[in-house]
């Protein structure tokens, strides 16, 4: 403990003031989970790109918690062969499986098709989360990508999150699934801080989607969301995925990259005051 504190002080001393200011006190990581009701709404795109922006100024870790359809390594063009499945072995540590990504980002891959992990029992999952949580402490920011729909495996990750990004498109089906996810979160974690993020083509659509989401959350959960973020629908997102090169690096001036950077900057700023806390009525 003493050694860690000394190391931290030394690092802060070596750092430019603005970076030192952005670090969390006592080396405690701020954990951001990216989740959704429906799949294919832009979660992995958001997780990968905001983690890369955070890594520019902070120690950042990206965790692929989408155990059914792990694809962070594909988006980043990483192929280390080491993944979360290995963490089920008592002898395997997080440092053993974490790969090096761009900007100094550390990445724990999910391991595509790792069925035994997706179907792991409660005890195994809890041991895994404990192992991960201990590793998180060495970072300023941890971004966790999750599976769509809030199942037991996803809730494990949401429980350790300080902030939940609830991603949806502006389509009514996606918004309805986001509401279902918000309800599950409110029921299980009444004090969770949740930020809706809409991948959509313009501000007006995002506003309408937030209104639609709030209509149901106010009626059935008792409170709505004050704030939301928008990630523009942008053909460059698909191009970047095809090229296996993350958007904020390959097309930094594209509209979606600008929105993703804005979202990351929002996370970097102290946002306790604007937290959306959903409590069941
Ligand atoms: N902002 C966006 N604009 C356009 N297409 C997007 C955007 N975000 C994601 N997509 C597309 O949606 C699909 C799913 O994206 P992904 O990030 O993998 O979502 P999820 O992780 O929620 O399944 C991809 O084909 C991607 O190209
Ligand atoms: Mg995904």
For 147-188, write each residue's pLDDT tens digit: 899 887 889 899 999 999 999 999 999 999 999 999 999 999
Verify whether ligand 1 is closer than 6 Å to residue 68 (CB atom).
Answer: no
Q: What is the per-residue pLDDT across 231-247, written as a single tens digit (0 to 9) for each? A: 999 999 999 999 999 99
In a domain, 142, yes or no: yes
Residue 279's pLDDT is 61
pLDDT at residue 80 in the model: 83
**pTM (2 d.p.):** 0.88
Task: Give the phi and the psi of residue 130 in degrees, each rounded to 5.
Answer: -65, -45
Neighbours of 171 (CB within 10 A): 14
The verdict on residue 216 lying in a domain is yes
The reply to whether ligand 1 has any atom less than 6 angstroms from the CB of 234 is: yes
49 lines ligand 1 (CB under 6 A): no
Q: How many domains does the chain have?
A: 1
Does the pLDDT value for residue 273 go beyond 80?
A: no
Q: Is residue 167 part of a domain?
A: yes
In a domain, 212, yes or no: yes
Q: Select from 188, 114, 178 the least CA-distant residue to 149.
A: 178
Instruction: For ligand 1, pick from 237, 246, 247 the residue to mutate: most ligand atoms within 8 Å of CB.
Output: 237
Handedness of CA 64, 69, 75, 77 (dihedral sign): positive
CB 40 near ligand 1, within 6 Å: yes
Q: How far is it, in rounded angstroms, from Cα 163 to Cα 168?
A: 16
Give nearest CA residue, ligand 1 atom 27. 238
Name which of 24-28, 44-48, 140-144, 147-151 the model is least confident about.
Answer: 24-28
Within a domain: 138: yes
Burial of 161 (0-12, 13-18, 19+ CB in 10 A): buried
The pick from 33, 35, 39, 40 for probing ligand 1's pocket by mutation, whose C-beta has the most ligand atoms within 8 angstroms, reads 40
Which residue's CA is the closest to the ligand 1 atom numbered 16? 42
Digit-coded pLDDT (tens) for 121-133: 888 888 889 999 9
Q: What is the mean pLDDT of residues 130-146?
A: 95
Ligand in closest contact with the CA of 236: 1
Residue 162 lies in a domain: yes
Is 147 touching ligand 1 by the criterion CB < 6 Å? no
Residue at 81 is within a domain = yes
24 within domain boundaries: no
pLDDT digit string, tens, across residues 36-59: 999 999 999 999 999 999 999 999
Reading the block at residue 198, the tokens are 């809409």
Three-state secondary structure of the chain:
CHHHHHHHHHHHHHCCHHHHHHCCHHHCCEEEEEEECCCCCCHHHHHHHHHHHHHHHCCEEEEEECCCCCCHHHHHCCCCCCCHHHHHCCCCCHHHHCEECHHHCEEECCCCCCHHHHCCCHHHHHHHHHHHHHHHCCCCEEEEEECCCCCHHHHHHHHCCCEEEEEEECCHHHHHHHHHHHHHHHHHCCCCEEEEEEEECCHHHHHHHHHHHHHHHHHHCCCCCCCCEEEECCHHHHHHHHCCCCHHHHCCCCHHHHHHHHHHHHHHCCCHHHCCECCCC
CATH at residue 65: 3.40.50.300
Please give all residues whose CB falls under 5 A of ion ligand 2, grouped by chain where several chains appear: 43-44, 66
Question: Which residue's alpha carbon is nearest to atom 3 within ligand 1?
Answer: 233
Nearest residue (CA) to ligand 1, atom 19: 42
Domain residues for 154?
A: 30-274
- Within 13 A of 201's CA, how many CA atoms are on the CB side? 2
């Amino acid at each position: 403990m003493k050694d860690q504190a000394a190391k931290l002080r030394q690092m802060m001393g070596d750092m430019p003031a603005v970076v030192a200011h952005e670090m969390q006190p006592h080396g405690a990581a701020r954990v951001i989970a990216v989740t959704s009701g429906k799949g294919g709404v832009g979660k992995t795109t958001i997780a990968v790109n905001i983690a890369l922006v955070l890594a520019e100024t902070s120690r950042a870790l990206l965790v692929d918690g989408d155990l059914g359809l792990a694809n962070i390594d594909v988006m980043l063009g990483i192929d280390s062969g080491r993944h979360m499945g290995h963490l089920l072995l008592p002898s395997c540590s997080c440092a053993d499986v974490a790969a090096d990504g761009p900007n100094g980002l550390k990445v724990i891959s999910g391991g595509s098709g790792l069925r035994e992990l997706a179907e792991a029992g409660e005890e195994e999952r809890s041991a895994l989360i404990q192992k991960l949580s201990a590793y998180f402490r060495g970072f300023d920011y941890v971004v966790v990508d999750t599976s769509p729909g809030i199942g037991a495996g996803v809730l494990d990750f949401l429980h350790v999150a300080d902030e939940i990004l609830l991603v949806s498109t502006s389509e009514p089906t996606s918004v309805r699934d986001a509401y279902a996810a918000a309800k599950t979160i409110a029921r299980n974690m009444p004090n969770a801080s949740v930020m809706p993020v809409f991948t959509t083509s313009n501000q007006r659509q995002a506003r309408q989607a937030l209104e639609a989401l709030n209509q149901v959350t106010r009626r059935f959960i008792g409170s709505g969301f004050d704030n939301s973020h928008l990630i523009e629908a942008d053909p460059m997102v698909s191009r970047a995925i095809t090229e296996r090169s993350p958007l904020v690096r390959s097309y930094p001036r594209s509209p979606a990259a600008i929105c993703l950077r804005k979202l990351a900057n929002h996370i970097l700023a102290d946002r306790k005051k604007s937290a959306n806390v959903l409590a069941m009525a």
